[in-house]
Amino acid sequence: MEKVQAKLEIERLSNELNVHNHAYYVENDSKISDFDFDQLLLKLQKLEEQFPELADENSPTKRVGGDITKKFKTIIHRFPMLSLSNSYSKEEIIEWENRIKKSIETPIEYVCELKYDGVAIGISYKNGKLDKAVTRGDGTQGEDVTTNVKTIKSIPLQLKGDFPFDFEIRGEIFFPLESFKKANEERKLNGEQEFANPRNSASGTLKSQDSKVVATRGLDCFLYGIYGEDLDRKNLTFAHYEAVLKAKDWGFKTPNPKLNYIHKTSTIEGIMDFINYWDEKRATLPFEIDGVVLKVNSYDMQQELGFTAKSPRWAIAYKFKTERVETILESVVYQVGRTGAITPVANLKSVSLGGTTVKRASLHNADQIEKLNLHYFDTVYVEKGGEIIPKIVGVNENLRKINAEKVKYILTCPICNSDLTRKEGESNHFCPNEKFCKPQISGRIEHFISRKALNIDGIGAETIDLMVSKSLIKDPADLYDLTFDQIVNLERMADKSANNILIGLRESTKIPFERVLFGMGIRFVGETVAKQLAKAFKSIEKLTAASYADLILIDEIGEKIAISVINFFLDSENKKIIERLKKAGLQFEIIEKEISSNVLDGKNFVVSGVFTKFTRDEIKKMIEDNGGKNVSSISAKTDYVLAGENMGPAKLVKATKLSIPIISEVDFLSMI
């Protein structure tokens, strides 16, 4: 390549990488896969090596990250947070290990770790107390997210044991898959757009301006790197692996050797065994990884090997390739949600991806379609975003047919033909015809009868759709006007099934106010918010009369929720539905129960297992009747675990680890 041509190519690659850097680190929006990014970076690096005089001092090859957002205070790192060199081939790992052996003549130990797919964090401790938590940022400076990090329960606020007076520990904050799934279920119920993948969601959550939001998400963290200027007296300068084990003694959640999350070896065979094991087993983990990290164990050897301008020579990351397949985009359909949100979905020619057959992929919104520049019958690249959600990540434009028709986002609702709307600041288009658009009608009623709302037995989505199409129901109140003859005359409906629906409707009148309120489907009012509103206002009358100022004072109620609640009760149709549901006998106020005693006041219980004298629900009621509180998971704030037969082994281990008393059914009855 000629020098002039090389100069132009270096400028083009630098600009493109800077755009992707900004999108990934500042906007939390990954526009290309890690593999593609690293290939661009490698191409630029090779050109700069060939033409060093053309290399810019601010080249992306010399940077660790991107620009810093202005939402949080910027902090300069005491110790730079460098990135690692990435490799996608085992041959490169062998070359790295050979280079290490040429530089270090004595026997070498290596540490193999999981490469967690989350957000890098550096947490400073002074005299055993959490002082500051800072994101990696551009490697030289990051953002102060201390308030949010303090809500992550696996990160200790106070250390124990023989810890250094002043040091920093680093690791990765991530979104456990179970928490990610739960968060998306709640967002779906609330009519909000679902998170795309755990990594970006963890990053966005960590930078939330409301620490309460962070506290509810269930983020987790593994910590594994210790830095400080006066660590000799704590005997920490000997080796990385031993320091990780030592940090566990101080109260940190560190990678578990017994689970093979961290492994020490002295051979390249041991390294390859670790890589191969997790390449095969990573799908079994409760969190996401995108590779493994390899480090020289000895701190003295690390110092001897030193650093390049960008990364340490004593460490390297091996990244698993995200499985990508090509297939044909056959059509695009548009789904209407219960809130009227329009979601475009790509219909694909069937293709195998990650062990499953993929036929559809979400296109999210109009912006995504435009960004991909999609045309019908394009050959598209499909990946499983975050190993969970199939997504189209690009188009092979070389295979595009001549005169191919461009995919244009619809302007009207695919069901009722209403003109779509899009509010400023929102990514989705909406159908405003909420009273007469059938998917919205069905969606609201399906939400009303769902398990966490009215939990009406004997009736499901197909039955609701059939009733709506037959014009038997158009809102939740219509359910309580249904007769036996109307129900039994529906297709595939027998006498017993019809009776079960009527029984389920009668039983639903016993459902408490907070679940009825959740079932009303007020936008942004999820299960937890509904409980808070019911607890604060006690009745639907008081809630209806609540002002913006009244609402904003309630825990977890922000501006968006307050405005949504007010708008819901300003709608005359919603008021009529509530009045009809009242006449049907549904609970629209909290019935204050007289507590049997206050002997359990302030005590938190986790109930687990099968009991002989009472059902689990009866025991939970007795706990509340005597002033106690039921909690779903074990934490340091749990006072007792009430255990029956077949108690979950994980709960037993956690309770024992936290020294929480485990009591029997007989012990509990003695207490009350």
Residue 367 phi/psi, 5-degree rounding, is -60, -40
Tell me which amino acid residue 43 is: K
Strands of the sheet containing 86-87, edge to edge, are: 86-87, 315-319, 289-296, 110-116, 262-265
Sign of CA pseudo-dihedral 342, 562, 434, 425: negative
- 100: which residues sit within 8 A by CB, 6+ positions away? 108, 296, 305, 313, 314
Strands of the sheet containing 640-643, edge to edge, are: 629-630, 604-608, 640-643, 662-663
Distance CA 534, CA 460 (A): 27
Name the residue with tokens 């779903």: 632
Q: How far is CA 257 from CA 262, 263, 274, in A?
A: 5, 6, 12
Distance CA 120, CA 206 (A): 11
Residue 461 phi/psi, 5-degree rounding, is -60, -40
Distance CA 576, CA 437 (A): 19
Q: Catalytic site residues? A: 115
Q: How many other CB atoms sit within 10 Å of the CB of residue 670? A: 9
Distance CA 408, CA 376 (A): 10
Q: How many other CB atoms sit within 10 Å of the CB of residue 532? A: 16
Distance CA 164, CA 553 (A): 42
Question: Burial letters for 24-57: b for 16+ Cβ neighbours within 10 Å, e otherwise?
Answer: bbeebebebbbbbbbebbeebbebbeeeeeebee
